[in-house]
Amino acid sequence: MLSHAGAKAQLRAFAIGASLLLCITVYSYVFFSSFNIPYLELSAIYASSFLFFLINGAGTFSLDNLIAKWINKKVASQRYKLV
């Protein structure tokens, strides 16, 4: 069966890498690209969204959670039919 905890761990692992990459990008735009606002703003928005997922993880209404619940219901009903 799928677990919601596993999906949260995978999302957080992805969020660590993505947020680190975007934080380095923001740093480079500030210090090496003479403070280029359009690129800096876009990178900062993406970095903040990945940091949000890093802190909070996948929510209750996330797609992976809904799919896991649906699959778990199917497996439980199959087990009930076998017994």
**Mind listing the pLDDT tens digit of every residue in the chain (83 residues)?**
456 566 667 777 888 888 899 889 888 888 887 777 888 888 889 988 888 877 776 677 677 777 778 888 888 887 777 66
Cβ–Cβ contacts within 10 Å for residue 2, how many? 15
Angle at 52 between CA 48 and CA 58, to 5 degrees: 145
Q: Which domain holds residue 9?
A: 4-82
Show the tokens assigned to 29: 């735009």
Number of structural domains found in the chain: 1
pTM: 0.58
